Structure 1
Amino acid sequence: MKTALSIQTAQPTEYAPMLAVWERSVRATHHFLTEADIEFFRPLVREAFGSGRQLVCAHDTTQTVLGFAGVADGKLEMLFVDPDWRGQGVGGRLLRYAVTELGARALDVNEQNEGALGFYQKAGFVITGRSPLDGLGKPFPLLHMQLGL
């Protein structure tokens, strides 16, 4: 890992950097999305930050947002890491925090995002179902996962 890492509750002043991390992450990992899809999802993601989810950010020593996670009702609803920090433990730390501190036990992952699927499986999540469309009715199949059945 490049530097020390802390996880803290996200503040509204961090929503803009979080959205930038989301977009950089999606562009690096969600190759199945078009530019129009990213434009469609961007305001929805921004709105989701203020909608009652428990949000946490991973920061380096300069308080730069390296990644973030959001949990609601025991479900991990978002976990994104800046692509410059992938493979350096940020996602794993965020996921462990979401599970141990925020009570995440379930999640959905895009079926086409094989890297994320493997990441969650390695962490002990198992596939419990599949939906052919995402939550907005778009043709992005979701795999439903739960922690260690």
Structure 2
Amino acid sequence: MIRKFEERDLETVMGLWLEGNLQAHSFITERYWKDNQELVRDLLPGADLYVYEEEEAGRPDGFIGLSGDYIEGLFVRGEKRSAGIGAALLDFAKKGRGALTLRVYQKNERAVRFYLRNGFRIRQEGLDEGTGEKEYEMEWKGEGR
């Protein structure tokens, strides 16, 4: 089930954020992610966050953060990846929206393929100034757009 983030989810969501970034972005130093943990911890409660949670598990296995029609991040617990959680979170975000955008590192090929499979297209290339890494800006447009 997908539900709105609650304060009690913060530690689990932070764990998913750090684990996901370290696993998916081995081309960026671990120190970068750890140095940004407190900033993210402060920003998360104010974001538009939704978590995916199986009732019997009692803890979130994934989450998506939105800022309007922009996807700030999508994270799924390592052992739960490729089980449909990420797609379910994306489908949830698409409901009621005509378009969504996001940025993803070009070297994160698994994520790029995931977004392409889920209807996104590469709109342009750019550079993340914080890391110096090349990234894609991707977009999804609903039917008829």
TM-score norm. by structure 2 comes to 0.88
Extract structure 1 runs of 4+ deviating beyond 2 A. 101-104
**Secondary structure at the residue paired with 2:23?**
helix
* Residue identity opposite 2:120 in structure 1: F
Provide the residue aligned with 1:46 in structure 2: 41
Q: What's the CA shift for 1:138?
A: 2.5
Q: Are the structure 2 counterparts of residues 14 and 38 from structure 1 closer, same or farther at C-alpha, using a change threshold of 3 Å?
A: same
1:141 and 2:131 aligned = no
Identity level (%): 26
* Residue of structure 2 aligned with 1:128, choices 123, 126, 141: 123
CA root-mean-square deviation: 1.7
Q: Are the structure 2 counterparts of residues 102 and 55 from structure 1 closer, same or farther at C-alpha, using a change threshold of 3 Å?
A: farther
Aligned positions, number? 141
Provide the residue aligned with 1:3 in structure 2: none
Q: Deviations over 1:78-105 (max 9, x none)?
A: 1000101001111110111111156661
User: Do the aligned residues in 2 keep the contact of 1:107 with 1:146 (CA within 8 Å)?
Assistant: yes
Q: Deviations over 1:52-107 (max 9, x none)?
A: x2100000123211000011121111100010100111111011111115666111
Provide the residue aligned with 1:67 in structure 2: 62
User: Do the aligned residues in 1 keep the contact of 2:128 with 2:134 (CA within 8 Å)?
Assistant: yes
**Structure 2: where are the runs of 5+ without partners?**
none
Q: Are the structure 2 counterparts of residues 102 and 17 from structure 1 closer, same or farther at C-alpha, using a change threshold of 3 Å?
A: farther
Provide the residue aligned with 1:37 in structure 2: 32
Q: What's the CA shift for 1:116?
A: 0.5
User: Do the aligned residues in 2 keep the contact of 1:110 with 1:142 (CA within 8 Å)?
Assistant: yes
**Secondary structure at the residue paired with 1:141?**
strand
Distance 2:92 2:60 in 1: 16
Q: Are the structure 2 counterparts of residues 133 and 27 from structure 1 closer, same or farther at C-alpha, using a change threshold of 3 Å?
A: closer
* Residue identity opposite 1:27 in structure 2: L
* Residue identity opposite 1:144 in structure 2: E
**Secondary structure at the residue paired with 2:133?**
coil
Structure with the bigger percentage of strand: 2
Q: Are the structure 2 counterparts of residues 144 and 117 from structure 1 closer, same or farther at C-alpha, using a change threshold of 3 Å?
A: same
Q: What's the CA shift for 1:48?
A: 2.4
Q: What's the CA shift for 1:50?
A: 2.3
Distance 2:124 2:111 in 1: 16
Q: What's the CA shift for 1:41?
A: 2.2
- Equivalent positions of 1:81-100 (< 5 A) are 81-100=76-95
